[in-house]
Structure 1
Amino acid sequence: MNTTHALHAGFPSASFLRRFAAWIYDVLVAAAIIMLSSALALAFAALLTATGMLTLAEGQDHAGWLNNSPFYSLYILVVLGLFFGWFWWRSGQTIGMRAWRLKVQNRDGSRMSAKQAAIRVLTCLFGLGNLWVLVDFKNRRAWHDYAAKTELVTLSKEANQLYYWKDL
């Protein structure tokens, strides 16, 4: 086991309150991502209209067309899933998790795989899986932690800084 893995294997499990605080931060980032993704989707719809590939119904605008499309909701979910999955896989921390010194990792302290990140995305239930921490007193693991065989730990200030500079 390399020293980075050993360094992070011994940190305590994250409490519900820290998870919730990080979730609040990440909801704000997710809202910004949804706005940016929606702007790109609107621009794409406008491009389709300008090229004649899309004709809107009388009185319908591009936003209305997007909202009536089942693909728009799926598109937003995929974008958010890729955002969270990328950060979990790449560094073990989203922006909110970094602010609250949380890190998701394998139980031995190693970085999770892309497959584990995908499992976490599919089972986190938009953060509601964290409620399980309130019942699981012994391990303090959420549903998605069990599903992906990962854990969420609270890093020391020094370890959080180490990961920040290492991942740049």
Structure 2
Amino acid sequence: MPLPLPSVGATPSGTSDLMAPPLPRRLACCLYEGVLLFGVVFIAGYLFGTMSQTRNALDNRHALMAYLFVVLAIYFVWFWSRGQTLAMKTWHIRLVDRQGRRVTQLRAFWRYLLSWLWFLPPLAASLAIGASATGTLLVFAAWTLAWALASRLHPEHQLPQDILAGTRLVTFRPATTKPR
């Protein structure tokens, strides 16, 4: 029988106080998530290449991008609807709705779509101005910094995609259990 998840609310034992984690911890979690996603994307890409018998990296690239978009959607919706990805668990961060409850799969999917705002605008801007690879990295870095610092403007220090999706990132430390 699975153990019930601890409630996410203000408790004396301190499971969570619904406070947003500090920005450096959120960015560290994002970096760690990227490392973990490398493995997910590698295995998914390998399976796609094997199943489609792709011999050249340029063959089926549009289908591969759509496939990876779906794989990442499944990954994030699955874990966010349960509260945490592995990186979020490591950095003591939990995703909840505005009332502090678990998010639904529909809300998690909406957040996933909105999370692409981290990537698509700087890439579109780079294409529009015809930036080189270095220029693209600079545009991406500037956008990421501006996007992350936008959380400082919100009273609860939430990121724009969380505000729009009706979700919150909160500090979550599981209650410690005493050894028997």
Band the TM-score falls in, shorter-chain normalisation: 0.7 to 0.9
Cα gap change, 1:118 to 1:140, in 2 (>3 Å): same
Match for 1:99 among 87, 90, 93? 90
Q: Which amino acid aligns with 1:74?
A: A
Partner deviation per Cα, 1:87-142 (whole Å, 9 max, x = no partner): 0002x111111111000102222111111101110001265554421332x21111
The worse-fitting range, judged by mean Cα deviation, of 16-25 and 118-127 is 118-127
State the partner residue of 1:88.
80
Unaligned residue ranges in structure 2 (runs of 5+) = 1-5, 119-143
Does residue 141 in structure 1 map to residue 152 in structure 2?
no
**What's the TM-score, normalizing by structure 2?**
0.69
Partner deviation per Cα, 1:13-56 (whole Å, 9 max, x = no partner): 1221111010011001111111001110111122xx8xxxxxxx
After superposing on structure 2, the runs of 4+ consecutive aligned residues of structure 1 that deviate more than 3 Å are: 5-9, 126-131
Does residue 64 in structure 1 map to residue 82 in structure 2?
no
Matches within 5 A, 1:10-159: 10-46=17-53, 61-67=55-61, 70-90=62-82, 92-125=83-116, 127=118, 128=144, 130-136=148-154, 138-156=155-173, 158-159=174-175
Q: Which amino acid aligns with 1:11?
A: L
Return the alpha-carbon distance in structure 2 between the equivalents of residues 44 and 112 of structure 1.
34
C-alpha root-mean-square deviation of aligned residues, in Å? 2.4
Unaligned residue ranges in structure 1 (runs of 5+) = 50-60, 163-168
The answer to whether the 8 A contact 2:151-2:157 is kept is: yes
SS in 2 for 1:153: strand
The answer to whether the 8 A contact 1:9-1:108 is kept is: no
Higher helix share: 1
